[in-house]
C-alpha cells in the first residue's frame, strides 16, 4: 500500500508522541535497571511486530531482507539506548540529555545529502530554535550547580554525543533503505532484546518491576515508546518529510514534561511556556521551508 508524503510524516510524528511518554513510564517502572528494562520492552515490541507481520502476511517478506540490513537496524536500536543509558550514568543527566538531543538537528543537517531532498535555511533556523527550546526544558529539569565544568564527566558527554550521532545516522540511512519493509523492525527489536539481556547479565543486578504499576509501566513502554514508535518512525523517515520530522522531534521533551506535570511529578513553570513557544516557532519555520521546497519541486 502506497502512503503519501504528508501522511507518512504524520505517522512518523506519532512516534514523537509516544516518545513523550518515555520519561513518565520509565519512572513508573522502577526499580528495574535500564538494560533489563530494555530487554523486556524490546522483547514486547518485537513480539507484537512479528504478530502484526504474521497477521498481514508480511512474514514472508522478512526472508528477503539481507543480514546486513538486520545488522544495521539492530545496531541502531541497541547502540543508541546502550549509549544513552551509559551517558546518563557517567555525566550530569541534564547536560548529557541535552547533548543527546542533538540528534534531530543532525537529522535536519544530514538529510540535505539525501537524494531528492533540499536543505533550506528555514530548516536550519527551525531546528536551532527548537533545540533552544529543548535545551531550556532539559537544563531546567537538572540541578546545574555553580561548581564549574567537571572533567570526570567528559566520558559521559562523549557517549551522549555518540548517542546523537547514532540515532541521526540510523534515521538518515533508513531513508536510503526505503525498499526494506517496515516489518523488518520487528527483527531489529528481537535482536536488540537479546543483546540487552546479555548486557544486563554482564553489567547489572537483576531487579524486576516491584509492583503491578511498575509491571504495567514496563509493558506499556514495550507496546508504545520502545515498540510501536519504532515502526511509526520507520515509515516516517522512509516516506515522509524527514527534515520536518527532525524539527518536530523536539516536541518530545516538551510533551514529556507536560505528561509529567499532568501526572503530578513535575510543576508547571514559565520555562515550559517559553520553551513551547520556541519549539512551536521552530516547527512552523521548518514546515514553511518544506512547503516552499515542495512548491519549487512541483514548479
pTM for the predicted model, two decimal places: 0.83
Per-residue pLDDT of 43-68, as tens digits, reads 999 999 999 999 988 888 898 899 99
**Nine cell digits for residue 191:** 535482536
Q: What separation in angstroms does the CA of 68 have from each of 78, 183, 189?
A: 15, 16, 15
CA gap 194, 207 in Å, rounded: 17
> What is the average pLDDT score of the chain?
84
Q: Write down the pLDDT at residue 236.
A: 93
Res. 294 pLDDT band, cuts 50 70 90: low
Per-residue pLDDT of 244-265, as tens digits, reads 888 888 888 778 778 877 888 7
Res. 146 pLDDT band, cuts 50 70 90: very low
CA gap 150, 6 in Å, rounded: 45
Res. 129 pLDDT band, cuts 50 70 90: confident
Asked if pLDDT for residue 216 goes beyond 50, the answer is yes
Find, among 48, 27, 170, 192, the residue nearest to 107 by Cα: 170
CA gap 31, 26 in Å, rounded: 9
**Domain coordinates of the chain in residue numbers?**
5-141+152-298
User: Which sign, positive or negative, has the C-alpha torsion 103, 21, 16, 238?
Assistant: positive
Amino acid at each position: 500500500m502506497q502512503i503519501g508524503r504528508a501522511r507518512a510524516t504524520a505517522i512518523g510524528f506519532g512516534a514523537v508522541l509516544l516518545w513523550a511518554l518515555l520519561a513518565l513510564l520509565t519512572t513508573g517502572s522502577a526499580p528495574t535497571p535500564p538494560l533489563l528494562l530494555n530487554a523486556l520492552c524490546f522483547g514486547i515490541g518485537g513480539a507484537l511486530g512479528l504478530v502484526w507481520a504474521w497477521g498481514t502476511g508480511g512474514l514472508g517478506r522478512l526472508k528477503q531482507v539481507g543480514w546486513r540490513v538486520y545488522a544495521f537496524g539492530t545496531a541502531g536500536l541497541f547502540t543508541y539506548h546502550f549509549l544513552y543509558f551509559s551517558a546518563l550514568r557517567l555525566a550530569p543527566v541534564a547536560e548529557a540529555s541535552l547533548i543527546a538531543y542533538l540528534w534531530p538537528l543532525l537529522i535536519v543537517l544530514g538529510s540535505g545529502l539525501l537524494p531528492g531532498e533540499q536543505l533550506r535555511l528555514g530548516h536550519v533556523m527551525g531546528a536551532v530554535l527548537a533545540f533552544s527550546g529543548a535545551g531550556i526544558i532539559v537544563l531546567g529539569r537538572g540541578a546545574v550547580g555553580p561548581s564549574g565544568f567537571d572533567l570526570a564527566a567528559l566520558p559521559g558527554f562523549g557517549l551522549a554525543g555518540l548517542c546523537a550521532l547514532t540515532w541521526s545516522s540510523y534515521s538518515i540511512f533508513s531513508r536510503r533503505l526505503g525498499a526494506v519493509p517496515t516489518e523488518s523492525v520487528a527483527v531489529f527489536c528481537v535482536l536488540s532484546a537479546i543483546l540487552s539481556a546479555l548486557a544486563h547479565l554482564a553489567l547489572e543486578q537483576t531487579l524486576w518491576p516491584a509492583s503491578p504499576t511498575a509491571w504495567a509501566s514496563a509493558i506499556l513502554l514495550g507496546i508504545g515508546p520502545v515498540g510501536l514508535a519504532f515502526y511509526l518512525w520507520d515509515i516516517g523517515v522512509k516516506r515522509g518529510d524527514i527534515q520536518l520530522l527532525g524539527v518536530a522531534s523536539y516536541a518530545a521533551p516538551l510533551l514529556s514534561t507536560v505528561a509529567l506535570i499532568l501526572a503530578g511529578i513535575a510543576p508547571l513553570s514559565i520555562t515550559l511556556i517559553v520553551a513551547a513557544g520556541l519549539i512551536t516557532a521552530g516547527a512552523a519555520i521548518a514546515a514553511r521551508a518544506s512547503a516552499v521546497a515542495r512548491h519549487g519541486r512541483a514548479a
